[in-house]
Amino acid sequence: MAEVLLFHHAQGLTSGVREFAETLRRAGHTVHLPDLYEGRVYDDLQEGVAHAQATGFDVIIERGRAAAGGLPGELVYAGFSLGVLPAQMLAQTRAGAVGALLFHSCVPVSEFGGAWPEGVPVQVHGMDADEFFVEEGDLDAARELVRTTADAELFLYPGDGHLFADGSLPAYDEGAAALLTERVLGFLDRVK
Protein backbone atom coordinates (compact mmCIF):
# COMPACT_ATOMS: atom_id res chain seq x y z
CA MET A 1 0.00 0.00 0.00
CA ALA A 2 0.98 3.64 -0.42
CA GLU A 3 2.51 5.89 2.22
CA VAL A 4 1.03 9.40 2.22
CA LEU A 5 2.12 12.66 3.79
CA LEU A 6 -1.07 14.75 3.99
CA PHE A 7 -1.10 18.47 4.81
CA HIS A 8 -4.14 20.35 6.12
CA HIS A 9 -5.74 23.54 4.77
CA ALA A 10 -5.81 27.10 6.15
CA GLN A 11 -8.38 26.29 8.84
CA GLY A 12 -5.96 23.84 10.43
CA LEU A 13 -6.07 20.17 11.25
CA THR A 14 -9.87 19.90 11.35
CA SER A 15 -11.89 16.81 12.16
CA GLY A 16 -12.77 16.59 8.46
CA VAL A 17 -9.11 16.40 7.43
CA ARG A 18 -8.52 13.80 10.15
CA GLU A 19 -11.48 11.75 8.90
CA PHE A 20 -10.18 11.90 5.33
CA ALA A 21 -6.85 10.53 6.57
CA GLU A 22 -8.71 7.77 8.43
CA THR A 23 -10.56 6.84 5.23
CA LEU A 24 -7.22 6.33 3.51
CA ARG A 25 -5.92 4.33 6.46
CA ARG A 26 -8.98 2.06 6.45
CA ALA A 27 -8.17 1.31 2.81
CA GLY A 28 -4.77 0.05 3.96
CA HIS A 29 -2.57 3.07 3.32
CA THR A 30 -0.16 4.65 5.81
CA VAL A 31 -0.97 8.34 6.35
CA HIS A 32 1.16 10.90 8.16
CA LEU A 33 -0.80 13.98 9.21
CA PRO A 34 1.44 16.77 10.55
CA ASP A 35 0.01 19.86 12.19
CA LEU A 36 1.47 22.90 10.45
CA TYR A 37 -0.42 25.23 12.80
CA GLU A 38 0.88 23.88 16.11
CA GLY A 39 -2.59 23.02 17.39
CA ARG A 40 -4.55 25.99 16.10
CA VAL A 41 -7.83 25.32 14.27
CA TYR A 42 -10.05 28.08 12.85
CA ASP A 43 -13.82 27.99 12.41
CA ASP A 44 -13.63 30.65 9.70
CA LEU A 45 -11.60 30.36 6.49
CA GLN A 46 -10.60 34.04 6.51
CA GLU A 47 -9.27 33.72 10.07
CA GLY A 48 -7.23 30.71 9.00
CA VAL A 49 -5.88 32.54 5.96
CA ALA A 50 -4.97 35.51 8.16
CA HIS A 51 -3.07 33.14 10.47
CA ALA A 52 -1.22 31.61 7.50
CA GLN A 53 -0.29 35.07 6.23
CA ALA A 54 0.90 36.18 9.67
CA THR A 55 2.92 32.98 10.09
CA GLY A 56 4.34 33.29 6.58
CA PHE A 57 3.89 30.89 3.69
CA ASP A 58 7.63 30.23 3.67
CA VAL A 59 7.41 29.12 7.33
CA ILE A 60 4.48 26.82 6.54
CA ILE A 61 6.37 25.30 3.61
CA GLU A 62 9.42 24.82 5.82
CA ARG A 63 7.28 23.12 8.49
CA GLY A 64 6.11 20.77 5.73
CA ARG A 65 9.69 20.03 4.73
CA ALA A 66 10.57 19.34 8.38
CA ALA A 67 7.59 16.97 8.70
CA ALA A 68 8.96 14.95 5.79
CA GLY A 69 12.47 14.90 7.23
CA GLY A 70 12.25 11.66 9.16
CA LEU A 71 10.10 9.83 6.62
CA PRO A 72 11.16 7.70 3.67
CA GLY A 73 11.46 9.39 0.29
CA GLU A 74 8.94 7.09 -1.39
CA LEU A 75 5.86 9.07 -0.43
CA VAL A 76 2.71 10.39 -2.01
CA TYR A 77 2.50 14.07 -1.06
CA ALA A 78 -1.03 15.38 -0.59
CA GLY A 79 -2.46 18.69 0.51
CA PHE A 80 -5.75 20.48 1.01
CA SER A 81 -5.59 24.07 -0.33
CA LEU A 82 -2.84 25.74 1.77
CA GLY A 83 -1.38 22.28 2.31
CA VAL A 84 -0.75 22.05 -1.43
CA LEU A 85 2.21 24.41 -0.96
CA PRO A 86 4.37 21.97 1.04
CA ALA A 87 2.92 18.94 -0.78
CA GLN A 88 3.71 20.29 -4.24
CA MET A 89 7.11 21.60 -3.15
CA LEU A 90 8.08 18.18 -1.77
CA ALA A 91 6.73 16.28 -4.77
CA GLN A 92 8.78 18.48 -7.08
CA THR A 93 12.00 18.67 -5.05
CA ARG A 94 12.39 15.67 -2.73
CA ALA A 95 13.93 12.58 -4.27
CA GLY A 96 11.79 9.45 -4.37
CA ALA A 97 8.31 10.97 -4.64
CA VAL A 98 5.84 8.40 -5.97
CA GLY A 99 2.88 10.75 -6.49
CA ALA A 100 1.05 13.94 -5.57
CA LEU A 101 -2.57 14.72 -4.72
CA LEU A 102 -3.47 18.41 -4.85
CA PHE A 103 -6.90 19.27 -3.45
CA HIS A 104 -8.55 22.69 -3.97
CA SER A 105 -5.32 24.30 -5.15
CA CYS A 106 -2.40 24.10 -7.57
CA VAL A 107 0.50 26.49 -8.02
CA PRO A 108 2.61 26.93 -11.15
CA VAL A 109 5.41 24.36 -11.21
CA SER A 110 7.85 27.24 -11.72
CA GLU A 111 7.34 28.13 -8.03
CA PHE A 112 9.37 25.06 -7.07
CA GLY A 113 11.98 24.78 -9.76
CA GLY A 114 10.45 24.53 -13.20
CA ALA A 115 9.26 21.25 -14.64
CA TRP A 116 7.25 18.58 -12.89
CA PRO A 117 9.51 15.58 -12.12
CA GLU A 118 9.35 12.80 -14.67
CA GLY A 119 7.62 9.65 -13.47
CA VAL A 120 5.70 11.31 -10.62
CA PRO A 121 1.95 11.03 -11.25
CA VAL A 122 -0.31 13.80 -9.99
CA GLN A 123 -4.00 14.47 -9.56
CA VAL A 124 -5.54 17.92 -9.05
CA HIS A 125 -9.09 18.22 -7.69
CA GLY A 126 -11.15 21.41 -7.55
CA MET A 127 -14.62 22.83 -8.10
CA ASP A 128 -15.36 24.52 -11.40
CA ALA A 129 -16.88 27.64 -9.80
CA ASP A 130 -14.68 27.89 -6.67
CA GLU A 131 -13.54 31.53 -6.69
CA PHE A 132 -10.23 30.67 -5.02
CA PHE A 133 -9.44 27.81 -7.42
CA VAL A 134 -10.70 29.46 -10.61
CA GLU A 135 -10.07 33.18 -10.13
CA GLU A 136 -6.71 33.06 -8.33
CA GLY A 137 -4.91 31.12 -11.06
CA ASP A 138 -4.98 27.62 -9.60
CA LEU A 139 -7.12 26.23 -12.41
CA ASP A 140 -4.77 27.72 -14.99
CA ALA A 141 -1.77 26.22 -13.18
CA ALA A 142 -3.51 22.83 -13.05
CA ARG A 143 -4.33 22.93 -16.76
CA GLU A 144 -0.72 23.79 -17.57
CA LEU A 145 0.50 20.97 -15.34
CA VAL A 146 -1.75 18.51 -17.17
CA ARG A 147 -0.67 19.88 -20.55
CA THR A 148 3.05 19.49 -19.79
CA THR A 149 3.11 16.31 -17.68
CA ALA A 150 2.68 12.76 -18.94
CA ASP A 151 0.81 11.39 -15.92
CA ALA A 152 -1.31 14.28 -14.66
CA GLU A 153 -5.07 14.45 -14.21
CA LEU A 154 -7.35 17.37 -13.44
CA PHE A 155 -10.77 16.63 -11.97
CA LEU A 156 -13.33 19.44 -11.88
CA TYR A 157 -16.49 19.03 -9.83
CA PRO A 158 -19.62 21.16 -10.29
CA GLY A 159 -20.01 23.76 -7.56
CA ASP A 160 -18.35 26.67 -5.81
CA GLY A 161 -17.24 25.14 -2.50
CA HIS A 162 -13.56 25.68 -1.81
CA LEU A 163 -12.94 23.00 0.84
CA PHE A 164 -15.65 20.64 -0.43
CA ALA A 165 -13.81 17.47 0.64
CA ASP A 166 -13.64 18.40 4.35
CA GLY A 167 -16.69 16.85 6.00
CA SER A 168 -16.48 19.16 9.01
CA LEU A 169 -16.96 22.40 7.07
CA PRO A 170 -20.00 24.13 5.51
CA ALA A 171 -18.50 23.88 1.99
CA TYR A 172 -18.60 20.07 2.19
CA ASP A 173 -20.23 18.43 -0.82
CA GLU A 174 -20.99 14.78 -0.07
CA GLY A 175 -21.27 13.67 -3.70
CA ALA A 176 -18.16 15.47 -4.91
CA ALA A 177 -16.19 14.35 -1.85
CA ALA A 178 -17.20 10.72 -2.41
CA LEU A 179 -16.08 10.88 -6.05
CA LEU A 180 -12.81 12.58 -5.05
CA THR A 181 -12.17 9.86 -2.47
CA GLU A 182 -12.88 7.10 -5.00
CA ARG A 183 -10.44 8.65 -7.46
CA VAL A 184 -7.80 9.15 -4.76
CA LEU A 185 -8.07 5.53 -3.61
CA GLY A 186 -7.68 4.37 -7.21
CA PHE A 187 -4.62 6.59 -7.58
CA LEU A 188 -3.06 5.24 -4.37
CA ASP A 189 -3.69 1.65 -5.42
CA ARG A 190 -1.93 2.39 -8.71
CA VAL A 191 1.18 4.02 -7.21
CA LYS A 192 1.76 1.72 -4.24
Distance CA 5, CA 100 (A): 10
Give yes or no for residue 192 having a pLDDT over 80: no
Distance CA 135, CA 106 (A): 12
pLDDT in tens, 66-77: 999 999 999 999
pLDDT of res. 113: 85
Distance CA 166, CA 15 (A): 8
pLDDT of res. 170: 95
Residue 112: band (very low, low, confident or very high) from pLDDT cuts 50, 70, 90: very high
Mean pLDDT of 176-185: 98
Give yes or no for residue 9 having a pLDDT over 80: yes
Give yes or no for residue 114 having a pLDDT over 90: no
Report helix angle 84-93 to 57-68, nearest 10. Answer: 50
pLDDT in tens, 47-72: 999 999 999 999 999 999 999 999 99
pLDDT in tens, 149-164: 999 999 999 999 999 9
pTM above 0.75, yes or no: yes
Give the number of other Cβ atoms within 10 Å of residue 113's Cβ.
11
Mean pLDDT of 113-139: 95
Q: Percentage of the chain surpassing pLDDT 70?
A: 100
Distance CA 113, CA 92 (A): 8
So what's the architecture of 3-191 in CATH? Answer: 3-Layer(aba) Sandwich (3.40)
State the chain's mean pLDDT as an integer: 96
